[in-house]
Amino acid sequence: MPVLDSPASAQRYLPDPEVLSPNQNLLPLTAKANAQGHLEVGGCDVAELVARYGSPLYLLDEQTLRTACQQYRTAFVDNYPGSSQVIFASKAWSCLAVCAIIAREGLGFDVVSSGELLTALTALEQLQIPNPEARIYFHGNNKSRQELQSAIATRVTVVVDNWLELKILAELATPEQPVRIMLRLTPGIECHTHEYIRTGHLDSKFGFDPNQMRDVFQFITEQPALNCSGLHAHIGSQIFEQQPHQDLGEVMIGWLVAARDYGLNITEVNVGGGLGIRYLEADDPPSIAEWVRTVCESVKIACDKRQLPLPKIIAEPGRSLVGPAGITAYTVGSRKEIPELDRIYLSVDGGMSDNPRPITYQSQYRVAIANRLTAPLIETVTVAGKHCESGDIVVSAAEVPKTESGDVLIVMATGAYNYSMASNYNRLPRPAALLLVEGESHLILQRETDADLLRYDCLPSRLLPAN
């Protein structure tokens, strides 16, 4: 059995009160050990929540999410004398409650499907926010004709990705119903992150190739019903480097100037998102304020060099808004020890169906035993999911106290992409989700049931016994 050299407790993962940027903490800002030695988030005992609601269970800390939204907004006001808008990359976690909190904080939405569009619009409308369409930007590299028609009908801004949708929009738009668009281009900027989440380098499925842009500008000048207001670029996700974003302003303003040569009045520059978060102790992402400062300086320098007025900056963070606010709680089940390999497998009641990132991206996480937060960490285990896949490993080297079946294990920093990418693999129902705030838990996503799994199944009559 592997034993740690210097036993500590999982309290070391609790937020540092001097580190105020949520993306630089492993646990939500409200996380603490309570009098029972249990993990508490949003004033709620996590072990008690699992006893009440079951597991797996997604938990979202409202204060951490709101703080991240506020830090983005404040940083742009402090660092950019021009206009700015922060929009949420809702692919990170699209549901009514998350959208409502983000909308209440004054942010807009980046959507990439009719489903995300409907969710964002519904949240905005239920909050009675005026002109909801002004807050929504429709992305995607292969929007269907129906999705483009929905975008036109709801009057949201379409971020045009390629020639096909540009030509479809030109066909659908009319003088009576013009379309507001931005153009996505590939900036040719590399960053050191997983190859699947790099989107700014030239070999990417997203955006117009730079060599096409002048032809694109010319085409738009011939389409009076297409109102091109801005340019968009996104260089990737989970980025810690500042240099790529320092370079992006020069690239974007250069293309803004080129567009104006064709008579296009480009007034907005969308610099994407991509700020990383802390998943491991060794991770050292810039703070939200530092990232915003870099982006703003990049655009200001590029404009000053050309004596141009500042365009409106749009930024679209996703992971760095919602990721640090979330944790996932599991119940510990079986334990398998392999003395010959000095390995222990600790199995939990979820895995790749509620968090596919480890098997997809080789993502790493930190864990804690919520009902033993202050207990010494005395062994290293492999946390295994329950799915019928050898690769269903949640965490490969987790430091934990002595555990028992029934303990509550939590995985940190799972607010981004876990719910969004969840599946019914092995016909497992998707987990419930709770919003935690001021000692109260609020159900925001109901747990699926086994019956739900059959809801859309169809059994043709030809397969049934003949009467």
Which residues lie below 8 Å from residue 366, measured CB to CB, with a gap of 6+? 13, 26, 279, 280, 281, 395, 398, 411, 412, 413
Do the beta carbons of residue 424 and residue 39 sit within 8 Å? no
Sign for the pseudo-dihedral over CA of 415, 419, 420, 421: positive
Q: How many CB atoms lie within 10 A of CB 277?
A: 24
Strands 408-411 and 326-338: antiparallel
Q: What's at 155, amino acid-wise?
A: R
Active-site annotation, residues: 388
Q: CA-to-CA distance for 459 and 455, rounded, in angstroms?
A: 11
Q: How far apart are CA 21 and CA 284, in angstroms?
A: 12
Measured in residues, the chain has a length of: 467
Alpha helices in 13-106 (DSSP H): 46-53, 62-79, 96-104
> Are 413 and 26 a contacting pair, CB within 8 Å?
yes
Q: Are 334 and 385 in contact (CB under 8 A)?
A: no
CA–CA separation, 218 and 112 (whole Å): 26
The bridge status of strand 39-41 relative to strand 44-45 is antiparallel
